[in-house]
A and B are shown apart, each in its own frame.
Chain A
Amino acid sequence: MNLPPLKKPKRRLLEIRAEIPPAVYWGAGVGFIALFFLAWQISTSQGWVKPIFLPSPAAVLRELAAQIQEGVLWQDVKSSVYRIMVGWMISTLIALPIGILMGTFRFFEGLFEPFIDFVRYMPAVAFVPLTILWAGVGDEQKFIILFIGAFFQQVLMVMDNVKTVPYEMIQVSYTFGLKKWEVLWKVALPAALPGIWDTLRITLGWAWTYLVVAELVAANVGLGYRIMRAQRFLQTETIVLGILVIGFLGLVTDYAFKFAYRAMFRWMEKGGQS
């Protein structure tokens, strides 16, 4: 086809909701992180901040190398990740069925929601002293804190995920001769799954916060423990390294979840034929 001479599309960077080139989008994100590290480097190398308040990136890198060599980092990461996984898994395994029941049957919603709303407002962190009395300072105490922190949020979020399944979809399934439990298992659950997956991703992020707080108060291994101990000796590079490692682990798990989401729920994608 012969096209007339085409006008150059207008490319305004700041236009409400307008698309921008992907290179600009990703470049800006990476550039901002680079800028952050650059500002950090300059402010420490110029001596604007004392190393005791903020160590230089180089010092943190040296600390990273040292911790890797001594095996301390691996040990801390291993035990923190282990605690997160077990604690969050226990919470998830119990929250899923209860949340699904609450989102499906008004009876279970009425039964559990007032109690859950009540407990949900109690800060998980305030349970740290109590849980130490119950379970000491080992892994079990971390599991309990993680459970208290994650469970009550998960249940309510899963309930809402299940409630978003359109009622018409459920009604029409009955007309195919399906029984109540078949409708729940074959229709309501798969329909709610993408939302539930997002709930799991978000609550896993929150679980990190609870774990580190628990480790800050009482532990003898773990990323939070390393940070707490470094404070006593004013080893700010250890503190900063610990924070960065936690951020990095959070980022990795978040992207793993997002990647899995895209692989599992391709059918959510729009477009194609119309």
Chain B
Amino acid sequence: MKEVLTARNVWKVYNAASKKPLVAIQDLNLSVGENEFVSITGPSGCGKSTFLLMAAGLESSSAGDIFFEGKPLEDGAPGARLGMVFQNYTLYPWMTVSGNIGFALQKSNLSASEKKSTVEEFISLVGLKGFENAYPNQLSGGMRQRVAIARALAYRPQVLLMDEPFGALDAQTRRVMQELLLRVWETHRTTVLFVTHDIEEALLLSDRVYVMTARPGTLKEVIHVNLPRPRFVDMEISDEFLALKKRLLGLIKETSAEA
């Protein structure tokens, strides 16, 4: 499989000049293949979100390299090749749903009519037809995240980075959104790097799950999730799923005990 995103011996160290440097990420190696759905999970403070920001070019690494399609990422040079979905607060509240998605397309080479049809396409993809002219403040938390996902996908990034995108939602909505993301991913097969502390979410969505240790965050293990696709939320009670969950829980327990 072609590697799209590769981290080689990546470190993140804060207060490096002081007597007590804080090592957030220690010698991390990981890779994401083309059209692969990869998750990173681990205890709070393991540096998983920090790594995602570095992969997006929004933070710089202290040592090591992150490669995008074989070329090292330039520090602090975010570009439109990578899409990002955060937990919250990223929609522009003064723009409608269409406006938010259209805003992401302003640097693309599409013609005005192509942009318009792209916006429509992605609005219906996330099930928001009829809400084109609603403002974010008029939407529920789940609907806002649908807009954020549609907006991140609309400019067709080569990698979609998602930082706990469903972390602020209630349990019911979260399951609906997981199902939605599964369907969207099955149709678009975008390469995804997904950060979550919810291990069921990680297993349900991913092809591979990277487990990180508590600070200093480093790689503990990789789990290959061989569950068949298409996947559905109710697979979470299947024997295969539970076996994987048991293994993952054991790993997380070990990493927490080390902390």
* A171 adjacent to B93 (CB under 8 Å): no
* B89 adjacent to A267 (CB under 8 Å): no
Which residues in B have their C-beta under 8 angstroms from that of A9? none
Q: How far is the CB of A47 from chain B (nearest CB, A)?
A: 57
Which residues in B have their C-beta under 8 angstroms from that of A171? 53, 56, 58, 78, 84, 86, 90
A178 contacts the other chain (CB 8 A): yes
Which of B56, B93, B138, B155 has a CB less than 8 Å from the CB of A271? B138
A:135-150 near B, CB below 8 Å: none
B228 contacts the other chain (CB 8 A): no
Q: Given A166-B90, A172-B84, A175-B56, is A269 in contact with B155 using a C-beta cutoff of 8 Å?
A: no
Q: How far is the CB of B85 from chain A (nearest CB, A)?
A: 8
Cα separation A175 to B161 with both chains bound (whole Å): 10
Which residues in A have their C-beta under 8 angstroms from that of B136? 267
Which residues in B have their C-beta under 8 angstroms from that of A271? 138
Q: Given A176-B155, A270-B138, is A168 in contact with B56 using a C-beta cutoff of 8 Å?
A: no
Cα separation A96 to B38 with both chains bound (whole Å): 45
* A175 adjacent to B137 (CB under 8 Å): no
Q: Write the chain A residue with the least CB distance to B85.
A: A172
B135 contacts the other chain (CB 8 A): yes
Q: Write the chain A residue with the least CB distance to B58.
A: A171
Cα separation A172 to B138 with both chains bound (whole Å): 21
Cα separation A186 to B99 with both chains bound (whole Å): 13
* A168 adjacent to B80 (CB under 8 Å): no
Q: How far is the CB of A194 from chain B (nearest CB, A)?
A: 9
Q: Given A175-B84, A177-B80, is A169 in contact with B138 using a C-beta cutoff of 8 Å?
A: no
A108 contacts the other chain (CB 8 A): no
* B107 adjacent to A267 (CB under 8 Å): no
Cα separation A166 to B92 with both chains bound (whole Å): 10
B131 contacts the other chain (CB 8 A): yes
B134 contacts the other chain (CB 8 A): yes
Q: How far is the CB of B129 from chain A (nearest CB, A)?
A: 13
Cα separation A265 to B80 with both chains bound (whole Å): 30
Q: How far is the CB of A274 from chain B (nearest CB, A)?
A: 5
Interface size class on chain B is 35 or more
Interface size on A, residues (CB 8 A): 25
* B53 adjacent to A168 (CB under 8 Å): no
Which residues in A have their C-beta under 8 angstroms from that of B140? 274
Q: In the complex, how many residue pairs between chain A and chain B have their CB atoms under 8 Å apart?
A: 80
Cα separation A186 to B104 with both chains bound (whole Å): 12
Cα separation A168 to B93 with both chains bound (whole Å): 13
Which of B94, B107, B137 has a CB less than 8 Å from the CB of A176? B107
The 8 A CB mask of B67-78 against A (1 = contact, 0 = none) is: 000000000001
Which residues in A have their C-beta under 8 angstroms from that of B103? 176, 186
Q: Which of B56, B87, B94, B131 has the most CB of A within 10 A?
A: B94
The 8 A CB mask of B117-137 against A (1 = contact, 0 = none) is: 000000000000001001111
* A168 adjacent to B88 (CB under 8 Å): yes
Q: Given A171-B53, A269-B137, A272-B134, is A177 in contact with B79 using a C-beta cutoff of 8 Å?
A: yes
* B106 adjacent to A176 (CB under 8 Å): yes
Q: Given A168-B90, A176-B107, A267-B93, is A273 in contact with B131 using a C-beta cutoff of 8 Å?
A: yes
Cα separation A272 to B94 with both chains bound (whole Å): 16
Which residues in B have their C-beta under 8 angstroms from that of A265? 94
Q: How far is the CB of A206 from chain B (nearest CB, A)?
A: 28
Which residues in B have their C-beta under 8 angstroms from that of A190? 92, 94
Q: How far is the CB of B162 from chain A (nearest CB, A)?
A: 12
Which residues in A have their C-beta under 8 angstroms from that of B94? 190-191, 193, 265, 267
A125 contacts the other chain (CB 8 A): no
Q: Write the chain B residue with the least CB distance to A179.
A: B107
Which of A168, A177, A178, A268 has a CB less than 8 Å from the CB of B137? A268
Cα separation A190 to B107 with both chains bound (whole Å): 19
Cα separation A191 to B56 with both chains bound (whole Å): 23
Cα separation A265 to B104 with both chains bound (whole Å): 22
Which residues in A have their C-beta under 8 angstroms from that of B138? 269-274
Cα separation A89 to B84 with both chains bound (whole Å): 40
Q: How far is the CB of B51 from chain A (nearest CB, A)?
A: 14
A174 contacts the other chain (CB 8 A): yes
Q: Write the chain B residue with the least CB distance to A268.
A: B137
- Which positions in B face A, CB cutoff 8 Å? 53, 56-58, 78-80, 82-84, 86-95, 103-104, 106-107, 131, 134-140, 152, 155, 157
5 A-B pairs closest in CB distance: A177-B80, A177-B107, A166-B89, A174-B78, A272-B138
18 extra A-B contacts, CB within 8 A, seeds A171-B86, A175-B83: A169-B91, A171-B78, A172-B84, A172-B86, A174-B78, A175-B82, A176-B104, A176-B155, A187-B92, A190-B94, A191-B93, A191-B94, A193-B94, A265-B94, A269-B138, A270-B138, A273-B138, A274-B140
